[in-house]
Amino acid sequence: MEVHDILAGIAVLIGLAGVVLVFIPGVTLQVGAVLLWALEESNPTGWVVLSLVVALAVAASVLKFTFPGRRLKAEGLPRWVLLAAVAGGIVGFFAIPVVGAPLGFVLGIYLFERVRRGREQAWPSTRSAVRAVLTSMGIELAGGFLILLVFAAGALLT
């Protein structure tokens, strides 16, 4: 195992952490690390690993947006409420370091849903939205783990 294998592995692990941490680009970092690794390897194994990683990243990205989005649409939560909640998460991120983003997101959904649907329906809508976001993160995390496994196998084979 060479230095570039270890550095790429560290970047893939940091990318995996980025799925959960807002300020790290996650799967994008993983793909970039594997791309640089494959360029350094310049062999068929590297290109196959890169192809699999890109396919996994695309699949995870498509699934993380479509699957939870359908659930929210079926439950009647409009997209603008989610966008407003994301804005609340951004404000929360800067107002309260570390925990502000999720708190701002949840509070944003709750407040907009309380205005839109009333007090009784606000919390069930908020729970549905949080469940959808966690499902989306879970899908991306599973994709990130698969990328890590494919990269590790490829690095061990070369």
Q: Which domain holds residue 77?
A: 3-157
Is residue 39's pLDDT more than 90? yes
Sign of CA dihedral 129, 133, 138, 139: positive
Domain count for the chain, please give it: 1
Q: Chain-wide mean pLDDT for the chain?
A: 88
Is residue 72's pLDDT more than 80? no
Is residue 98's pLDDT more than 70? no
Distance CA 94, CA 77 (A): 26
Mean pLDDT of 53-75: 86
Quickly count: other Cβ atoms within 10 Å of residue 5's Cβ. Answer: 18
pLDDT at residue 137, as a whole number: 86
Rounded to 5 degrees, φ, ψ at 99 are -95, -5
Task: Name the band, by pLDDT with cuts 50, 70 and 90, for residue 30.
Answer: very high
Distance CA 90, CA 33 (A): 27
pLDDT at residue 89, as a whole number: 82
